[in-house]
Structure 1
């Protein structure tokens, strides 16, 4: 069990900076087409006061040779396997876009296992009760690239490099398939605090749709709207970091924000 857990941890989770002993732990879950390295600047800014981990999904970067997952639930189960069930250090989650969906399924699995997250930050995604028919993953490469370019989450030069596109398109299409075919299954609401963050000009989610995350928890709920589009958290990085730090500080060791 220990060997499997350790191997899964190395496969799925990345740690970029040293944390201080007893620092609160925060797990970042990337967006569709994203990778663990997207959160290196966040890890640098938060460390050593926060123990930052970032998820590496299969099919990209150092996991390029692996087939990408095709469902949100599959990704959530993979992350759960990577978390040592014997480690009782409370864990906060931060998921952006697709990562919010994966984080929600992961939070439900953790709660079922008696290890609910200390707090769940959801970013750039409407609540799971708001369903919308989407089929980008069924279209051609040009349509997929156009959709990604609209969201301004990938540098334009990368989308024009054919060699890079050949590497990233399979995982990107699988991620879009996971997002667009996801349907929330019935189950208990979360018990943990839930903090929703979004950009005021996000073409994929309105502030009203972000507010529907309040339906997913019996714990405290907050909504924070920032200037910007789908990737508002790049331009508003300092404000987002301040929100994370203040939330973890407010929770304090009594509710699990510190190990």
Structure 2
């Protein structure tokens, strides 16, 4: 049985939703990311929904916990902790990069358990059956830092702070291990619609791989490109928020199934 303590460990709600808010938007961070990454999104959408940001173990106030190094294990833990919350109100899932496949796996667990997510927004990652065969998790600490510097998603001052790096490195290595060892069958599908969002210059999520999300739903599928790289959603925050707001308020057009690469 899930306890209130478990829920508060995993789920962060930074802003009270409007009284008549529409369902909830559950957000899953990227590798090395934390719940606070979604603080601005929570503020921007508080008028229409409750934004729930997932806090993985091994970071910020959970830095003394061991971060799972397996996407399936992480999804199991998230689902166990948040199931009562996920069952209580309509749920839209949003994940960025590693968070996209964590959200996908949580959605699979929801559907297997008789719960129906409303929609999955997968950002900054090719379809889940596209394997990530990198070896970042095998590098030394300097090699992992170099990877983060290349993605330009972490404050350069933090990457130069030895105390900060000492605290976050175990979680970073675990996250990259989880990402680079994750495997998903090509026929694993959801019933809910999927919208794939990505930066048009993202080397980690080329468009042809992003299209492969369409293989993983029997619902509608659509894509939306934005200017930018892997962390396009920081620079394009207003546009991304508008896409989510339109979905949450019912003003978005239903996603049409698009053809995918063979």
| TM-score normalised by length of structure 1 | 0.93
Aligned position for 1:18:
16
- 1:161-218 deviation line (CA, Å, top 9, x unaligned): 1111101111001000000010114765101011100001111111111111000001
Aligned position for 2:108:
108
SS at match of 2:154: coil
Q: For the Cα contact (< 8 Å) 1:36–1:54, is it kept in 2?
A: yes
Q: Which runs of structure 2 are paired with 1:1-259 in the superposition (5 Å)?
A: 1=1, 4-23=2-21, 24-85=23-84, 87-185=87-185, 188-250=188-250
Most deviating of 219-228 and 17-26: 17-26
Q: Matches of 1:206 and 1:248 in 2, distance apart?
A: 27
Tell me by how many angstroms 1:246 deviates: 0.9
Tell me by how many angstroms 1:135 deviates: 0.9
| TM-score normalised by length of structure 2 | 0.92
Aligned length: 250
Q: Matches of 2:221 and 2:250 in 1, distance apart?
A: 14
Q: Matches of 2:130 and 2:238 in 1, distance apart?
A: 29
SS at match of 2:52: strand
SS at match of 2:57: coil
* CA spacing shift, 1:189–1:251, aligned 2, 3 Å: farther
Q: For the Cα contact (< 8 Å) 2:129–2:185, is it kept in 1?
A: no
Q: Matches of 2:160 and 2:27 in 1, distance apart?
A: 28
Q: Matches of 1:233 and 1:127 in 2, distance apart?
A: 18
RMSD after superposition = 1.5
User: What 5-or-longer segments of structure 2 have no aligned partner?
Assistant: 253-262
Runs of 4+ in 1 over 3 A off after TM superposition: 84-88, 185-188
User: What 5-or-longer segments of structure 1 have no aligned partner?
Assistant: 253-259
- 1:58-80 deviation line (CA, Å, top 9, x unaligned): 00100011111111111111111
